[in-house]
Structure 1
Amino acid sequence: MAPSASREGEPGPAREDRERLRADCADCFGLCCTALPFARSADFAVDKPAGQPCSHLQRDFRCGIHARLRDKGYSGCTVFDCFGAGQKVSQVTFGGTDWRRDPRTARSMFAVFPVMRQLHELLWYVTEALGLAAARPVHPELRRALIRVEDLTHGSAESLAGLDVETLRGEVNSLLLRASELARAQVPGRKKNHRGADLIGAKLPGAALRGASLRGALLIASDLSGADLRDADLIGADLRDTDLRGADLTGALFLTQAQLNAARGDAATRLPAGLDRPAHWTAAA
C-alpha cells in the first residue's frame, strides 16, 4: 500500500502551532457549557437556551459528569471542539475576569465565544494547509491569511462581536480549497467528487475514496467500513454515527478530532497523525 504523500516531511512547526488551538478547559470559564444552546435530542438529554449555564456546570467551571457524558445522554458535548477559543476569550479577550465574578461581562463574553470559535477553527485549517508540501504555491497567501485571522482574534470584544465571519470564512475557504486540490492532485488516478453530497445512510463498505472530495458531505450513519479514505478532503463532512471500522484515513485532509468523536471506529481504523482514537470506539468495536 502506497503511503500518503500529502504532508510535509518535517511537520513539527505546524504541529506545534496547532497545540495552542487545542481546548484547555482549565483556563476557560465554561463557555461551551453556558454560551451555546442545545435542544433535547439524541445528543442532549435536555433543552438549554443560550446564555444559561448547563445544570452540570460546577462552580469551578468544570463539568460534573465529564467522565459519564455519553451515559447521561450528552454525547453532543463529546463531539464539540472549540479549537482553543474558550481559553482565548476567557484569558485574553476578557483578561481572566469571569462572568460569575463580573456578571456585566456575561452577555458580551457569550456573544464573542462563537465568533472566536470560528476564527480558531480557521486557524486550525490554515495551519494544516501550511503543512501540505504539495500546497506550496498557495503558502504565501495562506500565511497572510493566518496572520490576518490571528490578528482578529486579539481584537476587542466589540470588534469581534461585529465581525463579518461568513465573508472571512469564504475568503479563507477558497485558499483551503486550492491547497486541497494541489495536495489531492498528487494522488494517482481519477478522484471522486462527493462535495456536499447527501450520503446519509449510504452503504459504501470498502469504497475506493482515496483523494476524493467529501467536503461538506452528509455521511450520517453511512457505512464506510474498510474504505480507503487516504488523502480525502473531509472538511466540514458530517460523520455522525459514520461506520469507520477498518477504514484508512491516513493523510486525510482537514479531518478534526470532533469528527472522529462523532463517528464509530475500531482498533483497525487508521488515523492521520495528530488525532487520537476516541475512547468509545473500543467499546463499540
Structure 2
Amino acid sequence: MSALAAEAFAVLRGVCDGMGIDHRGARLLRVRSNAVFKLRSEIVVRIATSPGAQARLPGVLAVARWLAGQGFPAVRPADEISEEPVVHGGRAVTFWHYVPASGRPTTTELGEVLRVLHRLPVPPVTLKRLADPLAQVRREAERSAVLTAAQRAWLVERIAELTERWDGLETDHPPVLLHGDAWIDNLLRRSDGHVVLCDWDGVAVGPREWDLVHTYHGQRRFGLTAQEVDAFAVAYGSDLRAWPGYSTLMEVRDMYAVGIHLRNAATDPFSRKELPRRLDSLARGEKNTRWYMAEPVTVSR
C-alpha cells in the first residue's frame, strides 16, 4: 500500500470515528486527486488531496444539490451525514450516495449529457471562473521536490508560454457551467441503464471547450478510438476539432494532466513512474505517446 493510501485510511478512520460512522470493511476505490472509499452502508467518502479543497468543496456540494433540483443525472451528496465538508487532519472530506455501476458508458452518452449540462443556466452558487487552468500545475512545478532543476526550468517556461496562448483564445459562446473533468471514466452507468455524471470537484464557470477537450485528449493519450471521438462530437452537436483554438487547447490539456502526478509523485509509486513518462514525451514534442492511469484499487480495511 502506498503512503498516500495509508494516509487516506488514517483520515477515514479518524473522521468516521469522530462522527460515529461504521468504517469497518471500507473499500478504497481510488487514490488520485481524491481518495475515494465505499462504506458498507452504501455511502462514498471522498477525501480531497488537493490544496484549496476546503474552500472549494462547499460550492461543489451546492452545485450537486442544484443539479438534483434540475433533474440532471449527477451523483447526490449524502446530506443526512453532513451538509458541509468535514475537515480532519488537514483534509476535507465529503459524503455521497453510492451509485452501483453496471457496464461502461459510451462517448455518445457522455456527449449527450454534456450537451444538456451546457444548456443549463449558470447556478446561483459562488463558483470559480476557469481563467487559468494551469495555475495549480504552475504551483506544483515551483514547489515539487521530485523535479530536477532542468525539469523545473523547462516546465515553468512551458507553462508560461501555454498560459499566454490560453489567454489569447477566443470562443463564440458565452461561459457555461462546466463539470471540469468531463472524462468518460467520470460517467457511471446505473443498474437501470441510465448514466450519472460523478466527480464534480472541478466544477466551474468557463468556456464549454474545456469540458469537450477531455474526450479528444483521450484519443491522443489514453486509448480512445477515432470512432469514439466522432460519436462524441455527433452526440454533443459540435466538433471541437473545427475550432481554431483546438491545437492550443490540446497542449494546455496535456500540461494540465501532469499536475496530479507532480503533486503525488513523492508518496505514490504510480505517479512516481508516470510523471517522467509524461514529462519526457512533452519535452520531446511527442503528441501521441500513450499515457496511463492508475488502475482502480479495491483495498479493504
Q: TM-score, normalised by structure 1?
A: 0.27
Of structures 1 and 2, the one scoring higher in RCO (CA 8 A, sep 6+) is 2
TM-score, normalization: structure 2? 0.26
**Larger strand fraction of residues:** 2
